[in-house]
Amino acid sequence: MIKCVLAFLQLVAFLFLSSFALAQDLTYTRKLTLYSAVEMAKEQSPSYRSASVLLENRQWQYKTFRSNYYPQLSLRGVLPEYNRTIDPRITDTGSLVFINTHNANSYLQLSLGQEIGLTGGYISINSQIKRLDDFQAEVNRTRYSSIPATITLNQPIFGFNYRAWDRKISPLRYEEAQRDYREEMEEIASSATNHFFNLLLSQISLQIAQKNVANNDTLYKLAESRYAADKIPQNELLQMELTLLNSKQNLEQTTLDVEANTLNLKVYLGITDDNPIQLIAPYEIPIFEVDEQVALEQAHKNRQRVISFKREMLEAERRVAQAKGETGFTADLYASFGLTQQSIEFQDVYSDPVPQQRARVGFNIPIMDWGRTASKIGTATANRTLVQQNIEQQKINFDQEIYLNVKRFRVLRQQVIGARRADEIAEKRFNITKDRYLSGHLGILDLNVATEERDKASRSFISSLRSFWSAYYTLRRLTLYDFETKQSLVGEL
């Protein structure tokens, strides 16, 4: 019996400890490197979702554009149109009389149409069947008519061909959208880097503040014992107490900063849990060379802005062509050829159809418009010149931005190396100064200076890392090229 009770108690204790361990596991500390934070931002952040939806929207727009150049099959009809009213009619003598009408109309039409991109015309093949029910007729109350097949052509002549220009510009817009999405991914990486280092800097500051509180508390207790033994003046004791109070206040502020920056990072990365985050500082930076010429070549090859230069120039050319095409001599051709028949019996409506032809040529010739045509063409031409000049200036700025960022990246990499060495020196100097202060060879002012320089060097090292990684992702965005792996960032989506 006693053994059974002990076994039961052991089982209860095991289950309790297991549930406690499981509860502990549910609240774990998330560890993030810079690379993992960037990848998380590119996969689940609100900015990623927004960029993805925008790209999807542009993909659908491009599919809509492409569908314009495929045959369109449609079925239209009215089943039926009922009409019972009094309508006016003109007699043979020209007088107007009103008659009662009571009928119903029904029709079905099947159309297969295709736009002609090269000429801006539209060609279609149609088939139609109609039925008329005249409820006032005493005999033959129902009649049918059919158009078994007819070919129709609508063709503008000497006019503005919108579709031809659309075929040049729409693919560029879609390519821009794809490149813009890639650049947005690198922009997201850069923003994630800023949020990462905001939290990392506050965590480093918190660690420094915790060390300072511990050191200052120890030094204050030592100062109290020295003051009691009349080895130091009261002023030095008060200075140590003030330093301890300031370090405690700084600890409270840095703790609040960590909480705020943790929340900001979680919101940006799309993290919804309440688990704390521990960042792993990217102390090791990649070593690779960045050549200005390679950077310029890749930027000209990959960037969305280069494509937009072409697109903006084409749009300016299109506006000139539109001004010329819509203000000068214009004409349009309409022609159709087919077969038709009518009958009082449905089975006879397709028997022995007769030819049906239609043709029309319309034109418009401006004779006197008081300079309207010239002003529209002149405005479009002047705007084209302005766009061309702006593009030339933007190309110069584009190349300068690439060149300066390559130079800046190199300088920042050297600054990281220097900042790391300065941090090591400041830490060693602080330890030496602290030991000499404890041995009584240096005063409190020397220790405070060494402490401030150590803290400043630590923060400066993290800031230099932040600047380097920010420049790293900026360079990727400006060139859409990974210099570390020597691969283009433009690929299939």
Pair 397, 306 in one domain: yes
Dump pLDDT digits (tens) for 213-247: 888 888 888 888 888 888 788 888 888 888 889 98
In terms of phi and psi (left: phi > 0; alpha: psi -120 to 50; beta: otherwise), the region of 215 is alpha
pLDDT recorded at residue 439: 79
> What pLDDT is attached to residue 2?
54
| Mean pLDDT calculated for residue range 300-316 | 94
Q: How far, in Å, CA of 459 to CA of 281, rounded?
A: 12
Is 373 part of a structural domain of the chain? Answer: no
Residue 349 maps to a domain: yes
- Which residues, 6 or more positions from 126, have their beta carbon under 8 angstroms from its beta carbon? 109, 110, 111, 112, 147, 149, 150, 152, 338
Half-sphere exposure of 177 (CA within 13 A, CB side): 19
In a domain, 18, yes or no: no
Residues 349 and 277 in one domain: no
The distance in angstroms from the start CA to the end CA of the chain is 70
In a domain, 230, yes or no: yes
Q: Which domain holds residue 358?
A: 72-116+121-160+330-365
Residues 236 and 285 in one domain: yes
Average predicted confidence (pLDDT) for the chain: 87
Spatial separation of the C-alpha atoms in residues 44 and 269, rounded to whole Å? 7
Nearest to 208 by CA among 415, 437, 427, 32: 427
Q: Are residues 260 and 409 in the same domain?
A: yes
Residue 362's nearest CA partner among 338, 388, 330, 391 is 330
The answer on 309 and 351 residing in a single domain is no
361 and 452 together in one domain? no
Quickly state the pLDDT bin for 35 (edges 50, 70, 90): very high
> Residue type at 425?
I
What's the pLDDT at 106?
A: 93
Q: Tell me if 66 is assigned to some domain.
A: no
Report pLDDT for 493: 57
Q: Are residues 403 and 292 in contact, defined by beta-carbon separation less than 8 angstroms?
A: yes
- In-domain check, residue 3: no
How high is the pLDDT of residue 223?
A: 82
449: domain CATH number?
A: 1.20.1600.10
- Distant-in-sequence, close-in-space partners of 303: CB < 8 Å, separation ≥ 6: 179, 183, 398, 478, 479, 480
Bridging pattern class, strands 354-364 and 481-482: unpaired
Residue 175 shares a structural domain with residue 270 = yes
Are residues 187 and 142 located together in one domain of the fold?
no
Q: How far apart are CA 354 and CA 340, in angstroms?
A: 5
**Between 407 and 451, where is the model more confident?**
407
- Taking the CB of residue 371, how many other CB atoms lie within 10 A of it? 9
d(CA 392, CA 372): 31
Residue 374 in domain? no
- The pLDDT confidence band at residue 27, using thresholds 50, 70 and 90, is low
Query: Are both 205 and 346 inside the same structural domain?
Result: no
Confidence of residue 24 (pLDDT cuts 50, 70, 90): very low
For range 303-326, the mean pLDDT:
92
Evaluate whether residue 97 is within a structural domain. yes
pLDDT tens readout for residues 349-372? 888 888 889 999 988 888 888 888
Number of domains in the chain: 2
Domain identity same for 190 and 293: yes
Q: What percent of the chain has pLDDT over 70?
A: 94
Query: In residues, how long is the chain?
Result: 493
Task: Give the C-alpha separation, 493 to 58, whole Å.
Answer: 13
User: How would you class 26 by CB atoms within 10 Å of its CB: exposed for 0-12, middle for 13-18, buried for 19 or more?
Assistant: exposed
* pLDDT in the model for residue 25: 46
Percent share of the chain, pLDDT over 90: 49
pLDDT at 17 over 50: no
Q: In 280-371, where does DSSP find H-type helix? A: 292-302, 304-327
Q: Is 271 found in the same domain as 412?
A: yes
Q: Which of 317, 456, 326 is nearest to 381 (CA)?
A: 317
Q: What is the CA radius of gyration of the chain?
A: 41
Q: 303 and 219, same structural domain?
A: yes
CB 447 within 8 A of CB 457: no
Q: Quick: pLDDT tens for 123-156.
A: 999 999 999 998 887 777 888 999 999 999 999 8
pLDDT at 430: 85
Tell me the pLDDT band of 386, cut-offs 50, 70 and 90: very high
Q: What are 47-69's pLDDT values in tens digits? A: 999 999 999 999 999 999 998 88
